[in-house]
Structure 1
Amino acid sequence: MSSPATTTVTATPRRQRIMCGLMAAVIFTVMLVVSILLKTHTTGVIAFRTSDQVATTGLGIAMAAATVYLSRARVDADASGVRVRNIVGTHTLPWSAVRAVRFDENSPWASLLLVDDDELSVLAVQAADGERAVRAVEGMRTLLAASRADGVRSEAPHPAT
């Protein structure tokens, strides 16, 4: 063997995390500036108070937190299986439940083709991350192939017949 077998694969969407972090900082900064300037401007009909400033700042914090939450995608794979955490939900699958690791040329992210003919998007492996994404897909494919070759079979959900 020319290179040691891949034992674990961990991937996160680097570019998405950077962009979400920057956007969260911009959102919070804009909302903070708006809340500071809120008391200095009035329409004559509405007088803004300190509570309005606090609420606007709180809204900025909530919006920034929601933006950061979009970057929570992650995939962890080892010899026993793969754990995929997307924006909403986490899936832990044994390799026996996975038919193939797919990453098409024009696809924005990778996906797992499952034995029950479902497809699970892997948002942590994104085309925008370039070589990092390719290495993650190759690592998952190596682990999948090793599980087939070694006969490593975990209990997997089988479709009803």
Structure 2
Amino acid sequence: MLRTHTGAYFTLSDQLAMIGIGLFLAAGALWFTRPRVRADADGVEVRNLLGARHFPWTEVEQVSFPDGSPWARLELPHDEYVPVVAIQAIDGEHAVTAMRELRRIRREAGTPAEHG
């Protein structure tokens, strides 16, 4: 059997590079699973793609889900807000349940009720 040159040689460095690219792409895909929201009587911790912050309920004016918005948000003083990427409109009933639970925890913490 005669072997002919195809012009493609995969050396060890090529194979290691392919593994590295695969790991990089996997890490990128997993990065989108990072968002989380945790709430208790003291406040709410929001972890989005780039970092986590804790807000005491006294700083949160409202927990809202504006019409047409892709995710919920915490309304803060001075017209500021923080997106809550963990609660997304595309999740349908799960998002509704999460918003009800977040508002319940806030209400039980002794903060005024909100609309939105």
Query: In which range does the TM-score fall when normalised by the shorter chain?
Result: 0.7 to 0.9
Larger proportion of helix = 1
Unaligned regions of 5+ residues in structure 2, if any? none
Return the alpha-carbon distance in structure 1 between the equivalents of residues 105 and 76 of structure 2. 15
Point out the structure with the larger strand share.
2
Q: Which AA in structure 2 matches 1:90?
A: A
User: TM-score by structure 2 length?
Assistant: 0.83
d(CA) in 2 for partners of 1:132, 1:140: 12
Once superposed, which parts of structure 1, at least 4 consecutive aligned residues long, lie more than 6 Å away?
Answer: none
Q: 80, 100, 108: which one pairs with 2:42?
A: 80
Identity across the alignment (%):
44
1:101 aligned residue: 63
Matched, 1:69 2:31: yes
Q: Which runs of 5+ in 1 are unaligned?
A: 1-40, 150-161
1:129 pairs with one of 91, 107, 112: 91
The two structures have a TM-score, normalised by structure 1, of 0.61
**What residue in structure 1 maps to residue 111 of structure 2?**
148
Between Structure 1 and Structure 2, how many residues are aligned? Answer: 107
For residues 54 and 75 of structure 2, the distance between their equivalents in structure 1, rounded to whole angstroms, comes to 14
CA shift digits 1:102-159 (9 cap, x unpaired): 112321100000123211000000111111111111122222233226xxxxxxxxxx
